[in-house]
Structure 1
């Protein structure tokens, strides 16, 4: 019998809180009878390192959150550029992921890495000329540390890549070409739905006010990505 009660804590920044990704995921899951307890500790521009620094208020909040609930999953989302840059991820991201993963193990929670997406026109200041090259570097950055600590990965950025390959007219970015618009957040939520619940999102009626045909397309892209990645 399936366990319909799940608890999920998101740790990250504006890529997580823009359009309230945790709430969208909860709405999707509720349609199939799941009762998700979701919470988050986020701040715009935050790095995972910020959640561990003793003098940073974010670390105090994280410590309290870890104690206040029996979490099934701890979702870690790094600042959007760091995972793509080898030196940055080795010196900043990976030590932070290891420490947060150890904290998760102490409360019997599973770590899930939130593989984000590249910026719409790349990250030229760091040597990435387009979305595709950025996304490939992000994939490497997240999967390498996931293999080391044996954690789950939610391949949201790969779903964005697949969506654009299937329909180059679709737009998943907000006006700043970095953050997600509603379609981007919905696609991310569908990927998390497939990864965390091991369920197929195709056919869900909750569309986050996105036209149904486009929502169905995003559901299909999410499931294809999850099946291929896992």
Structure 2
């Protein structure tokens, strides 16, 4: 969807995905494929995303494991970006923690922040409409995915 959003703005983007269920940044670090891809020097940006991370353990992983990636990205002239996510509807009350922990991780690691979660929260707060969530109340609906892609493109390629 990021490629499609960029194309709609006249920008050509090529992306690859490295994602597995229930993986945190540390899991990618341990399995080593992410490092191989960064070392290939084929990427301008590495966008990392893990679960909501509103709790202390998730915060620690965002910051500490993000620092490992930042060091590697810097060595291979790649920019690290955090994809700020959102909590499930059930844990909506943790949204401020999700936002804070992603903001802090990006700031402490001198990385880019794609504030998708902030855009979601603003939408909910303004419209009292939770249609960005899919049927499971956690993953995004197509509408939520489109908004995420817009924020990522805005942040990395222009208007953000």
1:79 Cα shift?
Answer: 2.5
Number of matched pairs:
160
Q: Does 1:97 align with 2:66?
A: yes
Q: Which runs of 5+ in 2 are unaligned?
A: none
- Is the CA contact 2:3–2:13 (under 8 Å) kept in the aligned structure 1? yes
- Is the CA contact 1:115–1:154 (under 8 Å) kept in the aligned structure 2? yes
Q: Does 1:193 align with 2:148?
A: no
Structure 1: distance between partners of 2:70 and 2:8: 30
Q: Highest Rg: 1 or 2?
A: 1
Structure 2: distance between partners of 1:168 and 1:63: 41
Q: Does 1:84 align with 2:54?
A: yes
> 1:136 maps to which residue?
96
1:33 Cα shift?
Answer: 2.0
| RMSD, matched Cα | 1.5
Any runs of at least 4 consecutive aligned residues in structure 1 with deviations exceeding 4 A, and if so which? none
Structure 1: distance between partners of 2:63 and 2:157: 26
Query: 2:89 is paired with a residue of what secondary structure?
Result: coil
- Is the CA contact 1:146–1:153 (under 8 Å) kept in the aligned structure 2? yes
**What pairs with 1:34-183 in structure 2 (closer than 5 Å)?**
34-53=11-30, 56=31, 59=32, 61-80=33-52, 83-90=53-60, 92-122=61-91, 131=92, 133-183=93-143
Structure 1: distance between partners of 2:107 and 2:39: 27
TM-score, scaled relative to structure 1? 0.65
1:64 Cα shift?
Answer: 2.6
- Is the CA contact 1:73–1:110 (under 8 Å) kept in the aligned structure 2? yes
TM-score, scaled relative to structure 2? 0.92
Which of the two has greater strand per residue? 1
Structure 2: distance between partners of 1:70 and 1:166: 40
Query: 2:80 is paired with a residue of what secondary structure?
Result: strand
Q: Which runs of 5+ in 1 are unaligned?
A: 1-23, 123-130, 200-225
CA 1:163–1:121: 2 relative to 1, 3 Å: same
Query: 2:47 is paired with a residue of what secondary structure?
Result: strand
